[in-house]
Structure 1
């Protein structure tokens, strides 16, 4: 039976603090992992930038800058960014791990919906959080049901802010993108019908004809295909949502106490959702509390769980369960257990699943006890892939995918192969290798290209020269790299070149210069009606109107002229001093006016 290759990031430790666990999802920002913070002793999530972007200076800068910006956001409805950094080739950001269920999990893909007052209360919580983000110039851009978490105390929290957007979205999304997403979310909450992110002009009445018209328009306006006709940002949409919520009969929903679970969609509802609704339960539970309790009790006994009433219980067999499922099953014991994770090799349990526990299954655990779950990293001995004939970088990638984290390189002379070619491996391809031991790569000798991005041009050229390589410098504008620094290189770091080889080095000349404003016809040629008012071209002969109040040098202002009309803010020189007009004036010299129209700005 073929063993799946484990996640190459599983089990690694970043900055001796964050132990990465199971991968949760992947996107433009990188891969997102559940992790354990050794310093704070808490569960967190860590987003790791894709390895092919690590040497893209622009992508790294954008990722870290976005993380810094998100760290500064403070609102109870936003998942907090706890930190960020770079550990060798791993660029990462750490986010708060949210307890609760996402709306996507709660609704279960269809067949359930929320009453209007509950749906509006949830939407208001989401928009209140986004309003803070929009006020700081931050747009979510990927808001959906799986990015909203509802906890057991009535809290609605937004998570999953992307740290890097797709390359084609140079400027990133705008606030009306989040408004559209909030409209789609509200539509699904009240109808139970999932919709595509590109859906527009959504109307609740198309799914539920009896839906009030104000609710219908609330969703239709937010999902208008023309962004100009949507509410401008989350704050504007929140105001409208709250107005509609107040207009509904009855008080707003108390998400922690009221019977605010999703209800079955009557039309075409699956039979399994048409059950007795039972007593009040929190918002995020889909099943009635009585039925849920009965199912839970049956499940516990079916699994052989012997619950005892004196604060102790028998530890269930969790082998093969995912880390999340194992945590939930331990939490269901009601003993407030402390759950920790560590990694272990296993020949029988697939990567990411629980391979064992300490104490072992069947042991009696008391309230508050610690349970250590050993999560499988796959087998310790795996087959070495065939990387002979490829480049060193290709070999490293293939070995990581196979589960090997350590690599040693030995350079050898080869008359047949170009520099940087893998000649052989230890162990040989096809043999089993110990993942605890490094794989030795025998590579045809040459010069290893160093990392140059971020270095000054002179330092980069000197570093290449010291290795016997030649720098071919190309200059281009860059929005984030300061002038004179290396913003890119080809080939990438780690590549082996023959001595005397050439490395293309891209050096930043700074951002593109702002285009100078074109001179207007009025500025270029003042009319005769203005009596020579025009101005900055005046050379102190008394014919100029005067400089504006933002002049950097007071002596740049023209001499006062009795025939010139001066407006508020115009500046002039008179008898060695500078004056600024407080309002429209003509013919009254500075220093002698009884009305105080001229403000003395000091000596020139």
Structure 2
């Protein structure tokens, strides 16, 4: 217990209930204390957030929400959350107190673990994480510091195969992620265990935890993490750029099945990993059974013919009886302390393993010493028979573990999903459909058909097990996104995430779009392109330097002068109007528009009102002629007798006059 530095919380009682008795550990985000729940009279662990985090509203809210979710997660391998609250403004969690050590402490003491111990710990870790994945939670920070190894039923943590493992800090990483980034904008994570996708784009799902669990297995087997570097960012990017080495390259002699297990869990492409912790758990259980075969073979070696012993060419080697009347002969099964499949907790056994728990040694009654003749022969015959039966059982078990329960996976590649499902069911398998992927190779597997399968065609698989298939999305194509109005940085990131090449085209002035904003793309939005195709971005240069003045209502001569003074050119078009002739009626572009020097401004100029063509009204009654002219919009002045006939008109017939002009009529007999 770390009590080297004085801690003002030790000895205090929080919320009148939790009396803090000591400090267990201090991390980057919180400190863990040992406390007594005085209401229920039990020891608990109390995790209280550091003051530096309490001022971050986003962190506190997310921390509280995650605590409520984790509290509903009930599993024997998950550190239970009992309560949450605040003390002097600092959020805290009340959790199950686990008597034991962290996996980090064990690795610091022992450097590395045996394969059987490593798989035993990993199996319980994955059981906990799988329960979280089923509940929709992603841990995001799987590492030895968050794995607690409780004391085994036999006492202590020496027998790691029987120890109880519990996983802590579900959801805390997500709360940190929601509020904390470093100077480069990257998520603060434990870089030795961080998945490539978390480094590249900050995205995490169940497969991210699978990757971290694979790194933890690598460290348990080898005593080191796969990557090292002077700076954390260097380590993080090694996960992106390199495949995790196989453990046997560090520790020669490790079984190949462990190399395959680490490789499966730590593939850089998330789609190539087990879909969640439950999928990896199944593979770990199979690997543990595979390791058990080696011990079964060691036991049968005691019954093979021994060179130089009479009759050994066709006889079974017999273990001498212990000289005691009540003694029993010990037949080696699996050495004490090594793994048997029945040692696995009942919640983690495969269906073939049953519910019985076998003892490390089996006992066979031995005949009394001193008998001779018939009884000696009979004793030898009985013992030989028993050993032979044991040999059959051991060999049969070895056959079942290594061959009998396995069959070959069918070939489902390039089949449609329905065809693959039908064939798998015919052969006794279920189909799990993983996340679909684009086909990057030729020939292209049609969209909706099986692109990958795990286990692969003709690979060993347990009879009745599940086969995971990845369906093809066809050739990789991406639609050009709608980027109009977006800033260059965002638009470029969007296109590069789709593996498209970005080219910057000639900029254009815009009165509405600020400088640097995308005006258009070539090709247009929605066009489907292959990775490596180019998209040209046309960006705004902002508003043009010269603003067009308002010229409407000005005399055209004045308008020409104003435009020339601003370095602009005038173009004119005429239009009849009631406005006086040479008046500017309209302009294009409109007033206030930004343009470059020497830009052309088109002016619409009035020709004045439309002219009226006078008809010939001579020789018509004077009153009738006057009415006809007035209807055309001119004024009429009558000279002479208005009751007589029109003999003359001024202006004459066919003349064009402006509206309301005066036309004189001369009327007489």
Which TM-score bucket, shorter chain as reference?
0.3 to 0.5
TM-score for the superposition, normalised by structure 1 = 0.39
**As a proportion of its length, which structure holds more helix?**
2
Structure with more contact order per residue of length (Cα contacts < 8 Å, sep ≥ 6)? 1
Flag the structure with larger Rg. Answer: 2
TM-score, normalised relative to structure 2: 0.35
